[in-house]
Amino acid sequence: MSRLAVAAGAAALALAVLAAPAGATNECRGLQVCVPVAGPWVLTSAGAEVQYQLACPRRFVVAGLDAELSVRGIDVSFRGALGSPVNPGITTSTAAVFLGRLVRGASAASFRPHIGCIPASGGGQRVPTAFHVYPPGRPTLPEMSEITVHPGTHRYVRSCAAGERLAGATHAIAFYTATPPSGPLASSVTATQAVKSGRLHVTVRATSAVLEVRAVVQVDLVCVAR
């Protein structure tokens, strides 16, 4: 689903409260008001965990999650924040980070993340368990950007904002296709990364196969305040 489509869905919801229709995935199950958002097919590989962030429309928070798998041997989870009760706005925020790992199966395995979004109504407050300790917070500041893939070799540089330093980074290759990408399509895009002088350098290589589909490389920076 494109960002324009997501925005259109949010606008329609503002005009009329609609129940999400039943579908193959369950991100909106049990939610009376829900905007479903489907991500692209994210490539996974054996022995390495890939991260992909999927965001709700503005003023919405994640209340449900699901995923489609191209093979059964993909382990998918999501990153949630500590807090009580486990609820939208506390455990989740306006976006969800999916974690995928191929534990068995084909080399061209992929998963498609889904989130169900509800209107934001504020989250709970975290309280320390004792006066001399700190409650869990958010010491890292994730920065996500998406690179549209074009044929050829292209190099990109990403960095944290002023006053922050880069503590880590990941990238994910994804395809906006109706079905999981085939082996040849999946292998048509490669990406490598390296950190130099506090900046992330990403090299993306692609064949002409990407002219027929929309392929992206999502880059996630883990930034820490200095």
pTM value is: 0.78
Q: Residues 58, 105: contact at Cβ < 8 Å?
A: no
The rounded radius of gyration (Å) of the Cα atoms in the chain is 19
Per-residue pLDDT of the chain (226 residues; tens, 9 = 90+): 444 444 444 434 333 333 344 358 999 999 999 999 999 999 998 878 999 999 999 999 999 999 999 998 999 999 888 888 888 888 889 999 999 999 887 778 999 999 999 998 744 444 344 444 444 445 455 688 999 999 999 999 999 988 889 999 999 999 999 999 999 999 999 999 999 999 999 999 999 999 999 999 999 998 888 7
Domain boundaries, the chain: 3-119, 140-225
User: Sign (positive/negative) of CA torsion 43, 49, 50, 55?
Assistant: positive
CATH number given to 3-119: 2.60.40
